[in-house]
Structure 1
Amino acid sequence: MDKLIEYLLQFGALDSDQIQFISNKGKVVTLVTNEYFSEAGKTPKYVGFILKGIFRTCFYNNKGDDITHDFIDENNFVTDMQKFEAQAVATEYIQAITDCEVIVFTKKDWDDIGKTIANWDAITGLILRKCIGEILERRNFLVTGDATARYISFMKKFPTFINRIPLSYIASYLGMAQPSLSRIRKNISEKNAF
């Protein structure tokens, strides 16, 4: 719970009673690799704070291809916030791509926190703004450059992801087929070998 509180305090002040209230509402859960945190066609049950692991958001296109839209790692919130808040049916999946440990809050508990802590909306508003900014920044490099440049940018932006995420998900995120990504990785390795 300490990591979550430390994260929240970056966005606003909380007194010891408020911290205790938030701590009492959260529950730590473990998800194994490939388990879904949220599924398309179902209403999201939780908002979570990732203590350990990586999730991906994905969907299936009209051809049935699995498309990775984003990655979310430690010390970040994970949920489809719009669908969670509205208690509406999700259109994307949120899947654990490593074993994950997450502090989760039900909709009722999340709403209770919002009703009890006066500055909660301000804190969550700042967090949401930060998350949107990070998503836009992460996506910017995907619209410029060729496939090799996109992969090099991905390696620079997310150096810890390379050995933790299956290549098929990285390829999907970068908008290329896995054999193409394998060729790019091989070419980069050969160039760096000399």
Structure 2
Amino acid sequence: MFENIIKNVSKWIALTDKEKSTFTELLESRTVPNKTILLRAGEICQFEGYISKGCVRIYYLDEKGAEVILSFAVEDWWVSDIASFHERKPSNFYIETMEETEMLILTPKTKEELLSTIPKFERVFRMLVQRNLSTVQNRLINTISKTATERYLDFIKLYPTVPLRVPQYYIASYLGISPEFVSKIRKRLAAK
């Protein structure tokens, strides 16, 4: 149950068997049904979650009430509203499962306990924040400077399994184009 999360954090730090045990004892395992909202706009995020199995999306509602997808998270990814979690302020986002999802959760209390017990975990979470920032910056640059087809190809590289797991209109929302245009892009690429 903990093998993949141990591999995930071991990319950045080496853990002793005792540290692995301490870490995994602090994790809460949750199986969350499909279409479950884990966080609503206006709530304070109470979790940082590692996805063992499943798919979630992070989105907000625009001024017309339409959903705008910011990101997806799948196996071996972490999901949270970092600002809400750390600053204890209401979120602007929704986080929803797209299929039954198995997660390993840290709460603010258990994360603080982890960091005080095993300080080298600071590096793990710093690297996750850096990776998240890099992803957001690349997405911003891509949105401004790339064509819809280039953005779609970048999406496929970043999320290779997501097109098989979510409806096309969610991908369109993420890309900022219509579902019909996503269809045209897919047809054009398939013809090549």
In the superposition, the TM-score normalised over structure 2's length comes to 0.90
In structure 2, C-alpha distance between the alignment counterparts of 1:149 and 1:130, rounded to whole Å:
21
Q: What is the match of residue 130 of structure 1?
A: 131
In structure 2, C-alpha distance between the alignment counterparts of 1:63 and 1:122, rounded to whole Å:
40
In structure 2, C-alpha distance between the alignment counterparts of 1:22 and 1:156, rounded to whole Å:
31
Residue 93 of structure 1, CA deviation: 0.8
Q: What is the match of residue 17 of structure 1?
A: 18
In structure 1, C-alpha distance between the alignment counterparts of 2:3 and 2:28, rounded to whole Å:
13
Secondary structure (helix, strand or coil) at the match of 1:118 reads coil
Q: CA RMSD in A?
A: 1.8
Which runs of 5 or more residues in structure 1 are unaligned?
Answer: none
In structure 2, C-alpha distance between the alignment counterparts of 1:157 and 1:13, rounded to whole Å:
27
CA offsets, 1:113-135, max 9 Å, x none?
A: 11111222223212221232233
Q: What is the match of residue 40 of structure 2?
A: 39
Moved over 4 A (4+): none
Q: What is the match of residue 169 of structure 2?
A: 168
Contact 1:49 1:103 in 2 (8 A): yes
In structure 2, C-alpha distance between the alignment counterparts of 1:169 and 1:93, rounded to whole Å:
14
Q: What is the match of residue 68 of structure 2?
A: 67
Q: What is the match of residue 87 of structure 2?
A: 86
In structure 1, C-alpha distance between the alignment counterparts of 2:188 and 2:119, rounded to whole Å:
55
Q: Size of the alignment, in residue pairs?
A: 191
Residue 60 of structure 1, CA deviation: 0.4
Q: What is the match of residue 146 of structure 1?
A: 147
In structure 2, C-alpha distance between the alignment counterparts of 1:157 and 1:106, rounded to whole Å:
27
The AA in structure 1 aligned to 2:163 is: I
Residue 187 of structure 1, CA deviation: 3.9
Q: What is the match of residue 4 of structure 2?
A: 3
In structure 2, C-alpha distance between the alignment counterparts of 1:115 and 1:156, rounded to whole Å:
37
After alignment, is 4-13 or 141-150 more displaced?
141-150
Secondary structure (helix, strand or coil) at the match of 2:7 reads helix
In structure 1, C-alpha distance between the alignment counterparts of 2:56 and 2:141, rounded to whole Å:
20
Contact 1:50 1:101 in 2 (8 A): yes
Q: Identical aligned pairs, as a percentage?
A: 25
In structure 1, C-alpha distance between the alignment counterparts of 2:188 and 2:112, rounded to whole Å:
51
In the superposition, the TM-score normalised over structure 1's length comes to 0.89
Q: What is the match of residue 78 of structure 2?
A: 77
Q: Structure 1's 138 and 20: CA in aligned 2 closer, same or farther, altered over 3 A?
A: same
After alignment, is 179-188 or 41-50 more displaced?
179-188
In structure 1, C-alpha distance between the alignment counterparts of 2:62 and 2:141, rounded to whole Å:
21
Q: What is the match of residue 104 of structure 2?
A: 103
The AA in structure 2 aligned to 1:33 is: N
Q: Structure 1's 153 and 11: CA in aligned 2 closer, same or farther, altered over 3 A?
A: closer
Secondary structure (helix, strand or coil) at the match of 1:56 reads strand
Q: What is the match of residue 31 of structure 2?
A: 30
In structure 1, C-alpha distance between the alignment counterparts of 2:124 and 2:151, rounded to whole Å:
34
